[in-house]
A = this chain, B = another copy of it.
């Protein structure tokens, strides 16, 4: 029998819960740890792995495990690590493993008997197919450890300033610093900006009493400042750690600014993509559902890495049982649920949908338990109704939250149909909720959805209206009205956060306002480039002075200068300007509708499920090649089938 490859196995979801907690415990601020401020679900400490085989031949195998336990073969017990001989015939194997400080997991090496998804994992309450990861397939590995690729990096400049030495690595580094110094010990001040590094009081990270032998914690920075030191007294380097995920996309155009935006966005996104999508590398380094939701949009246009989505979805959600909303935020729970549907759209991965469905069900049950007589979702005392950092009328139930809930009902209905169940219940709930949204929140006079109807203020903000279009809740007439009365109405308070700006741009692009969107991309992200950004920031306000621009949340260096959601141009360019999108789940069919009118030249690649699309535009000719069947090229109302490997060339001129 051919050897199959073995994998480390664990209780499904627990790898993500364990590492998610490790990740959410990574935050550090000015010398102290800052564990995330929400309830942390726990991985299982005591797991039983089982499988039965019908062996055709005698076989030897051994079980390697992280933890303490035993192997039982047809009722006889063996130690871990022991070579176990089995006779041909029916063979029932049980491996019991406890581990209080890490993830209990095993690796089984035999020729037929090998650990993989065919094994069951049992926490003595529930028995499920074991969890695995492509990252852990070697016996010598330990799934409790994350293996980063490491790269030694050196500063590109060094200068004497303010009585100390400032090093500029000219890039964001996320790693450990090493010094060579003639001084007995030095202090290192870190900065994503030079201002931060030079501010020895307020810089976010500072390490005192550093010697050549100091083992220094991994941190993110671009600049290092060593106060009270002469240039010749110190040298430094760093070991930058990055999590290896292949970049499958390419973007090159005649617009150098756009090229640079794409490239810096790529750098930003790569840095914020580890085992999970985190918000930023300096601060918080936590897994936030809202931030991750936007990262899911970018992923198919850069990595097309299904695994990081799955890991993030599982880490955010934790165990099935749920009483607290994800990150304590009600809208983040709803976005989580919607993200599962988006992931399905990207991957057509029914197995994952099936694995995660019970957790979707428990979450929607929680949400339904907090709805009122109109079916509107309200926040409980302990809940955070976030939506955005902005002035919004949050009296009683609010519109934006109901838009998300409606999308969640639709997601539940669709997911159930995909899993062969009937989703009618949620179709009805969605219809009822939609009726009430229109009745209570649509304001015909204002031509828009109002935030709250309970207050009587009829306040209009962009948020609920953006969601209404994004999730296809508003009809065509309403959409036109929203465009006029909200999106292009200067009297409606502007979106001030990049988080919600993304949704606004997505909606504008979806509605075809591609000129406006491109203009904004170039102004907003181009503006950061002009400020010297090597990665994109958590927030950018063009009018802020240098003194103010690194501050946030009342902290002079509170702003994260390498923040995942800064990478959204990758999505916008890939989705709307190169025009690639699936038209059936998992790109079974997909569309390529590029917009050459914005470019003179293009030489781009966009990944798709199991393949890629090359798009180039040179001298008025657009060439599109997909390395997989299923695609169609659309332009100016015309369509061309994309056959595998065949280049379709279309003349295009303005």
Q: Which residues of B contact A45 (CB under 8 A)?
A: 21, 40, 42
Interface code A1-45, partner B: CB below 8 Å = 1, 0 otherwise? 000000000000000000001100100011111111111101011
Question: Is A97 in the interface zone, CB < 8 Å from B?
Answer: yes
Interface code A527-567, partner B: CB below 8 Å = 1, 0 otherwise? 00000000000000000000000000000000000000000
CB nearest neighbor in B for A98: B35
B33 touches A124 (CB 8 A): no
CB distance from A159 to the nearest CB of B (A): 31
Binding site of A, secondary structure by majority: helix, strand, loop or mixed? loop
CB distance from A229 to the nearest CB of B (A): 24
Top 5 nearest A-B pairs by Cβ distance?
Answer: A35-B98, A33-B68, A32-B70, A42-B42, A101-B101
A48 touches B40 (CB 8 A): no
A323 touches B125 (CB 8 A): yes
B101 touches A100 (CB 8 A): yes
CB distance from A384 to the nearest CB of B (A): 12
State which residues 93-133 of A face B: CB under 8 Å.
96-98, 100-102, 123-125
CB distance from A146 to the nearest CB of B (A): 14
Distance of A96 Cα from B32 Cα, bound (Å): 10
Distance of A257 Cα from B447 Cα, bound (Å): 96
6 other A-B residue contacts (CB within 8 Å) besides A35-B97, A42-B42, A321-B321: A35-B98, A37-B48, A37-B96, A39-B125, A40-B46, A101-B101
Question: Is A385 in the interface zone, CB < 8 Å from B?
Answer: no
Question: Is A278 in the interface zone, CB < 8 Å from B?
Answer: no
Distance of A22 Cα from B101 Cα, bound (Å): 11
**Known contacts A21-B100, A42-B42, A98-B25: A35-B69 contact under CB 8 Å:** yes
Distance of A645 Cα from B34 Cα, bound (Å): 57
CB distance from A186 to the nearest CB of B (A): 20
A35 touches B25 (CB 8 A): no
Question: Is A211 in the interface zone, CB < 8 Å from B?
Answer: no
Question: Is A79 in the interface zone, CB < 8 Å from B?
Answer: yes
CB distance from A202 to the nearest CB of B (A): 13
A36 touches B46 (CB 8 A): yes
Question: Is A324 in the interface zone, CB < 8 Å from B?
Answer: yes
Q: Which residues of B contact A80 (CB under 8 A)?
A: 32
Question: Is A243 in the interface zone, CB < 8 Å from B?
Answer: no
Question: Is A77 in the interface zone, CB < 8 Å from B?
Answer: yes
CB distance from A627 to the nearest CB of B (A): 44
CB distance from A324 to the nearest CB of B (A): 5
Distance of A123 Cα from B34 Cα, bound (Å): 15
Question: Is A61 in the interface zone, CB < 8 Å from B?
Answer: no
Distance of A3 Cα from B556 Cα, bound (Å): 40
CB nearest neighbor in B for A100: B21
Question: Is A78 in the interface zone, CB < 8 Å from B?
Answer: yes
Distance of A379 Cα from B503 Cα, bound (Å): 53
Q: Which residues of B contact A21 (CB under 8 A)?
A: 45-46, 100
Distance of A29 Cα from B33 Cα, bound (Å): 41
CB nearest neighbor in B for A45: B40
Contact sample, A vs B, 11 pairs, CB 8 Å cutoff: A25-B46, A32-B80, A33-B68, A34-B69, A35-B98, A36-B46, A37-B96, A39-B46, A39-B125, A42-B44, A321-B321
Q: Which residues of B contact A22 (CB under 8 A)?
A: 100
Q: Which residues of B contact A124 (CB under 8 A)?
A: 37-40, 324, 328
Distance of A69 Cα from B29 Cα, bound (Å): 10
CB nearest neighbor in B for A324: B125
B79 touches A32 (CB 8 A): yes
State which residues 313-344 of A face B: CB under 8 Å.
321, 323-324, 328
CB nearest neighbor in B for A28: B68
Distance of A352 Cα from B123 Cα, bound (Å): 30
Distance of A101 Cα from B45 Cα, bound (Å): 11
CB distance from A64 to the nearest CB of B (A): 14
Distance of A493 Cα from B164 Cα, bound (Å): 90
A96 touches B34 (CB 8 A): yes
Task: State which of B35, B70, B101 has its C-beta within 8 Å of the C-beta of A34.
Answer: B70
CB distance from A312 to the nearest CB of B (A): 19
Q: Which residues of B contact A71 (CB under 8 A)?
A: 32
CB distance from A144 to the nearest CB of B (A): 10
B79 touches A25 (CB 8 A): no
A77 touches B35 (CB 8 A): no
Distance of A323 Cα from B320 Cα, bound (Å): 13
